[in-house]
């Protein structure tokens, strides 16, 4: 499946996941290939980063750079080695990322002593939330065969978006790649 084909899947999972605030982490591992037997990886040369939701139309160079640096850090720590595309890579790495703006409504009722004649006070609270998702995809170079894919979908707090220090991306990549086996 091409990365473009993953975009509707990531977007639908992000939207469906809006019913819960729990982070979701998923891993897909090829049954035909043992990714840990491979060592050399390279970056996908075209469309390294595909985006969905609120990221469409934006300048995503910083996001791509952060994904590249964090994924590289984890791959190197697990024994994988970066090579240029013409140096016979065994793995091609790409990303899909997205943000979906949502609105959540919560209803509250507090009982107690009567206040101005009413024993219960009720109110409705509306919050704007953002769900973010990242998929890291490892494929056989030049083929449409996925070796390994990890996806994280989480609520992204407004302060994380405002800080723009890369913490959210680093944490998602670290969580996603925990399940990637080390290279032998």
Break the chain into its structural domains and give their ranges.
3-104+123-179
Q: How much is the pLDDT for 81? A: 97
Instruction: Please give the model's pTM, rounded to 2 decimal places.
Output: 0.74
Q: How much is the pLDDT for 86? A: 95
Mean pLDDT of the chain: 79
Neighbouring residues of 23: CB distance < 8 A, sequence distance ≥ 6 = 152, 153, 154, 155, 175
Q: How much is the pLDDT for 118? A: 58
Q: How much is the pLDDT for 8? A: 45
Low-confidence ranges of the chain (pLDDT < 50): 1-4, 6-19
Q: Which of 22, 15, 171 is nearest to 99 (CA)?
A: 15
Q: How much is the pLDDT for 103? A: 66
What CA–CA distance (Å, rounded) separates 184 from 162?
A: 40
Q: How much is the pLDDT for 148? A: 95
Q: How much is the pLDDT for 42? A: 97
Helices and strands counted in the chain (H then E): 4, 7
Q: Is 3-104+123-179 a domain of CATH 2.130.10?
A: no
């Amino acid at each position: 499946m091409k990365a473009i084909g993953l975009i509707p899947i990531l977007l639908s999972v992000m939207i469906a996941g809006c019913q819960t605030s729990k982070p979701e982490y998923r891993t897909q591992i090829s049954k035909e290939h043992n990714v840990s037997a491979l060592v050399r990886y390279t970056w996908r040369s075209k469309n390294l980063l595909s985006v969905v939701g609120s990221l469409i139309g934006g300048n995503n160079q910083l996001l791509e750079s952060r994904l590249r640096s964090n994924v590289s850090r984890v791959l190197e720590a697990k024994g994988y080695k970066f090579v240029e595309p013409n140096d016979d890579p065994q793995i091609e790495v790409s990303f899909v990322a997205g943000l979906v703006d949502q609105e959540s409504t919560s209803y509250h009722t507090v009982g107690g002593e009567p206040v101005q004649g009413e024993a219960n006070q009720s109110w409705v609270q509306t919050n704007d939330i953002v769900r973010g998702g990242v998929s890291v995809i490892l494929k056989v170079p030049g083929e449409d065969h996925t070796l390994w894919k990890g996806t994280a979908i989480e609520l992204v707090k407004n302060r994380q978006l405002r800080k723009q220090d890369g913490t959210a991306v680093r944490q998602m990549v670290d969580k996603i790649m925990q399940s990637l086996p080390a290279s032998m």
